[in-house]
Amino acid sequence: QEDIFKNVVSHAKEYGFIFPSSEVYDGLSAVYDYAQNGVELKKNIREYWWKSMVQMNENIVGLDAAILMHPTTWKASGHVDAFNDPLIDNKDSKKRYRADVLVEDYAEKLNQKAEKEIEKAKARFGDAFNREEFVTTNARVVEYLSKRKEILERLAKGMSEDLQDVKALIEELEIADPETGSKNWTDVKQFNLMFGTKLGASAESAMDLYLRPETAQGIFVNFLNVQKSGRMKVPFGIAQTGKAFRNEIVARQFIFRMREFEQMEMQFFVRPGDEMKWYQHWKETRLNWHLSLGLGKENYRFHDHEKLAHYANAAADIEFNFPFGFKELEGIHSRTDFDLKAHEEYSGRKLQYFDPELNENYVPYVVETSVGLDRMFLAVFATSLKEETLEDGSTRTVLKLPAVLAPTKAAVLPLVKKDGLPEISRKIIEDLKWDFNVAYDEKDAVGRRYRRQDALGTPFCITVDHQTLEDETVTIRHRDSMKQDRVKISELKDIIENEVSM
């Protein structure tokens, strides 16, 4: 698993998807740049989300709020007082960790042990294997899973009541510093994750601001502006994508946990009392959105929260099977009227909706869907990256991205660099580029060019050869099957369109 992850990181760099930020200065921890192919893939994921949320839903509209907001926003939202992570230091190594993450990693290992037993049994029993039954009857699996459950429950309790209970749990489980093995821990302390900055030039008049740690608050403070100017009727939603910033303590696992990242959030405003219905609706709808990409149903699971944030009355994560195990990809939260009420209180302005059907005013309840764009990128990229052994025994690296998300949809390759083949290739590109991102490549033998496009995730290669001069046909090669068909140049657009459209 570690090797797979290393491959993902190096492939992303080698093929121009992701670079460490300011690499000439040895990078900046947990900050990354999206390179020529990465920016396309990221944009396509964003667009795929935006279309399904805004374009396909009559009652959801978009917004692009500023990153900088009035500082009282973050008092009202609870971020100034409660947006903390529990830190623990190792006295010997002087390394700093998130106490809850240490415990969660331990629990995940128990889960992996259980999975291993299940896999073994599955291999032994074949078709007769009944997972449900095995999980509830096999002594070892039952022990792993119940221990895991107990640990996570104690963690949740410690996090909400007494952080030193989390420390006690770490000591009891003999969790060691993952890097040095030392078990010599300090107490657990709270650390605020917001990045501060200043507005204004002179020291006296400067105002302390924060870089937004989530995009949601820009939606809440604009709720009434959008509702009135758009004559929106509850239930309706506001969708937004944009940067958010968190001074994460454990910034590791590549783009999974970054200090500057992008969110795709939608806040859905509903009648008080209707929120559970909509919460279920959005849980289901969002899972289906993920499944529509075809990365495999088995790679997703729900995690319903037992411990709820101060603003929520129900919450679940959609977890994804990343190269380092199942982790949160998206959160679906029933946020009640907490945020709008808080902004009413701190601003002294009413944020109420007049419901013409009920003939009454109320502060709507909110159901939120919030997915990290970078985490989506990692999920898609890591799952698509495959090493394949071919029939002739050779291997190829292929990035089997969903075609709709691929940075380049087709590469046009003249078989040789002469006899007018480059010119025809250019002409094909001139036609296709109005509809798709297409690339041209004439360097190296055509087999090597195919491999390069495989590694970039390009769904189609179009090869122009001498026969093209005679009958205006080309070969089109499919990335996944490597099948090649002879088709007319005039058919190319439809063939590509058919596969890459949303």
What is the contact surface with ligand ATP in residues (CB under 6 A)? 214, 246, 248, 257-258, 261, 263, 328-331, 370-372, 374-375
> What's the CA gap between 182 and 176, in Å, rounded?
5
CB of 231 to ligand ATP, least distance (A): 30
- Bridge partner residues of 413 (DSSP): 463
Half-sphere exposure of 490 (CA within 13 A, CB side): 2
CB of 300 to ligand ATP, least distance (A): 13
CB of 328 to ligand ATP, least distance (A): 5
Which residues are CB-contacts of 368 (< 8 A; sequence separation ≥ 6)? Answer: 216, 265, 266, 267, 268, 331, 332, 333, 334, 335
CB of 315 to ligand ATP, least distance (A): 8
Question: 428 and 492 in contact (C-beta within 8 Å)?
Answer: yes
> What's the CA gap between 90 and 97, in Å, rounded?
8
> What's the CA gap between 106 and 150, in Å, rounded?
12
CB of 333 to ligand ATP, least distance (A): 7
In sequence order, what DSSP letters do the residues of 38-49 get, joined into one string?
A: HHHHHHHHHHHH
Whether omega for the bond prior to residue 235 falls within 30 degrees of 0, making it cis, is yes
CB of 332 to ligand ATP, least distance (A): 9
> What's the CA gap between 217 and 229, in Å, rounded?
19
Nearer to ligand ATP, 370 or 425 (CB): 370
Phi, psi (rounded to 5 degrees) for 94? 65, 15
Residue in 420, 434, 424, 500 with CA at minimum distance from that of residue 462: 424
- Bridge partner residues of 484 (DSSP): 477
CB of 156 to ligand ATP, least distance (A): 13
CB of 374 to ligand ATP, least distance (A): 5
CB of 488 to ligand ATP, least distance (A): 44
- Single-letter amino acid code for the residue at 24: V
CB of 367 to ligand ATP, least distance (A): 13
Nearer to ligand ATP, 236 or 320 (CB): 320
Nearer to ligand ATP, 375 or 452 (CB): 375
Only one residue has tokens 């010997």, namely 92
Nearer to ligand ATP, 221 or 371 (CB): 371
> What's the CA gap between 35 and 456, in Å, rounded?
12
DSSP 21: T
Q: What angle do CA 44, 50, 53 make, to 5 degrees?
A: 140
Nearer to ligand ATP, 271 or 303 (CB): 303
Tell me the CA distances in angstroms from 301 to 108, 304, 347, 500, one per residue in order: 14, 10, 40, 27
CB of 330 to ligand ATP, least distance (A): 5
Nearer to ligand ATP, 268 or 450 (CB): 268
Cα torsion 42, 48, 53, 55 to 10°: value is 120
Tell me the CA distances in angstroms from 423 to 277, 417, 426, 442, one per residue in order: 59, 9, 5, 11
Q: Which residue is nearest to ligand ATP (CB)?
A: 372
DSSP 194: P
- Single-letter amino acid code for the residue at 1: Q
> What's the CA gap between 187 and 167, in Å, rounded?
6
Tell me the CA distances in angstroms from 255 to 19, 104, 178, 382, 420, one per residue in order: 10, 19, 20, 11, 44
CB of 25 to ligand ATP, least distance (A): 22
Nearer to ligand ATP, 353 or 381 (CB): 381
Nearer to ligand ATP, 144 or 245 (CB): 245
